[in-house]
């Protein structure tokens, strides 16, 4: 009896070991696919947000003027607490990120804030930044081989693991790109010129916008308070480090970094910001991770300290170089 069971037990163990190996090897893809089976969460918080700045609109959006021509538009009740930025010039405006698309329509909020023609540009292709993009008729995209590859018959469709909305049951959108912007090119809004920066690390197609006149960097998910994600499909620690070093070399030391996710440590809800010191701390943290001098916690993802505002989550060496 025991002799008959032994091969079955060994076979079962072998199959489970193979499955576990595959899951771990392709962890950036497999873990998100199955994570929804083991956790639950509220997409939208029912509680009223405790804002430190700005005002609520339609009981969902936080609208906060940054300066006379820049407005942060947040989703403080959304579980990822996204912030997009409406950046206006004299002739046109650019909406950096399109919101999650979870509640109502960010385009309607934008229409209340400006009469200028508006172009939307996503900081990267994840669902929480592109979910609200379809209502816009003018859409800009960074011009990279990876983004060009998403175009078929003139239509841009975000790839499954670029969009990454499977945990929330979301489908990648399809839309028409009306303006392709190469890294290093500029966007003239009329009296306000933005420089388009390719900032790979979080994703290969991540974008930041720099306003040299006001020393403002709009960073998307490349850097923000709380927890940086450097373990998802396309994330790269070496690219993160290279981008960080390049930004430190090119940006003025007094640059204010406006980021895409709230909130700063021990502060109420407002448009999240960081400084060049935080960027320098990120560079030091990435160097320490690379050298093995920093000690993380957890298995996958692994959490490493950056400073009092940030930690960073990484993957395994074979899928997170």
DSSP state string for 179-223: EEE-TT-EEE-SS-EEEEEE-TTSSTT-EEEEETTTTEEE-TTSS
Q: What percent of the chain has pLDDT over 70?
A: 93
Q: What is the pLDDT of residue 20?
A: 58
- The helix (H) or strand (E) run that includes residue 10 is helix 2-25
- The pairing of strands 256-258 and 216-218 is parallel
Residue 140 above 70 pLDDT? yes
DSSP category for residue 58: T
Q: Whole-angstrom Cα distance, residue 195 to residue 107?
A: 24
Q: What is the pLDDT of residue 35?
A: 74
Query: Within this chain, do residues 5 and 53 fall inside the same structural domain, yes or no?
Result: no
**Cβ atoms 255, 206 nearer than 8 A:** no
- Which CATH number goes with the domain that contains 101? 3.60.15.10
86 φ/ψ sector (left φ>0, alpha ψ -120 to 50, else beta): beta
Please state, rounded to an integer, the average pLDDT across all residues of the chain: 93
User: Can you give the pTM of this predicted structure?
Assistant: 0.93
Query: Within this chain, do residues 73 and 21 fall inside the same structural domain, yes or no?
Result: no
48: burial class by Cβ within 10 Å (0-12, 13-18, 19+)?
exposed
Query: Within this chain, do residues 158 and 246 fall inside the same structural domain, yes or no?
Result: yes
Query: Within this chain, do residues 132 and 174 fall inside the same structural domain, yes or no?
Result: yes
Q: What is the pLDDT of residue 316?
A: 85
Q: Whole-angstrom Cα distance, residue 229 to residue 292?
A: 19
Query: Within this chain, do residues 170 and 86 fall inside the same structural domain, yes or no?
Result: yes
Q: Which domain holds residue 23?
A: 1-40
- Cα separations in angstroms, 273 against 50, 122, 157, 211, 215: 17, 18, 31, 15, 13
Query: Within this chain, do residues 130 and 230 fall inside the same structural domain, yes or no?
Result: yes
Q: How many domains does the chain have?
A: 2
Q: What is the pLDDT of residue 292?
A: 94
Point out the least confidently predicted range of 103-112, 276-285, 302-311.
Answer: 103-112
Query: Within this chain, do residues 4 and 88 fall inside the same structural domain, yes or no?
Result: no
**Cβ atoms 289, 237 nearer than 8 A:** yes
Query: Within this chain, do residues 32 and 160 fall inside the same structural domain, yes or no?
Result: no
Query: What three-state secondary structure class fits 264?
Result: coil
Query: Within this chain, do residues 194 and 133 fall inside the same structural domain, yes or no?
Result: yes
Could you tell me which residues come within 8 angstroms of residue 267 by beta carbon, excluding any fewer than 6 positions away?
Answer: 52
Q: Which residues pair with 274 in a beta bridge?
A: 257
């Amino acid at each position: 009896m025991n002799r008959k069971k032994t091969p079955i037990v060994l076979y079962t163990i072998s199959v489970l070991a193979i499955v576990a190996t595959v899951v771990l090897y392709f962890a950036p893809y497999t873990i998100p696919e199955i994570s929804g089976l083991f956790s639950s969460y509220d997409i939208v918080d029912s509680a009223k947000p405790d804002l430190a700045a700005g005002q609520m609109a339609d009981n969902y959006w936080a609208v906060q003027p940054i300066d006379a021509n820049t407005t942060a538009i947040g989703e403080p009740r959304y579980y990822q607490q996204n912030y997009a930025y409406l950046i206006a010039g004299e002739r046109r405006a650019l909406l950096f990120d399109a919101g999650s698309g979870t509640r109502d329509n960010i385009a309607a909020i934008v229409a209340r804030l400006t009469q200028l023609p508006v172009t939307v540009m996503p900081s990267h292709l994840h669902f929480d930044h592109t979910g609200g993009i379809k209502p816009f008729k003018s859409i800009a995209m960074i011009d990279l081989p990876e983004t060009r590859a998403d175009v078929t018959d003139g239509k841009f469709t975000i790839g499954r693991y670029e969009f990454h909305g499977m945990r929330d049951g979301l489908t990648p959108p399809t839309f028409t790109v009306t303006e392709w912007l190469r890294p290093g090119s500029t966007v003239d809004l009329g009296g306000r010129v933005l420089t388009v920066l390719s900032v790979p690390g979080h994703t290969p197609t991540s974008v930041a916008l720099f306003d040299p006149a006001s020393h403002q960097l709009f960073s998307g998910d490349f850097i923000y308070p709380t927890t940086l994600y450097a373990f998802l499909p396309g994330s790269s620690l070496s690219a993160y480090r290279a981008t960080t070093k390049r930004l430190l070399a090119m940006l003025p030391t007094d640059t204010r970094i406006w980021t895409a996710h709230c909130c700063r440590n021990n502060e109420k809800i407002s448009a999240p910001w960081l400084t060049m010191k935080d960027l320098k701390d990120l560079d030091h943290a990435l160097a320490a991770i690379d050298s093995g001098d920093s000690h993380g916690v957890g298995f996958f993802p692994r959490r490493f300290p950056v400073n009092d505002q940030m930690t960073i989550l990484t993957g395994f060496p074979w899928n997170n170089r």
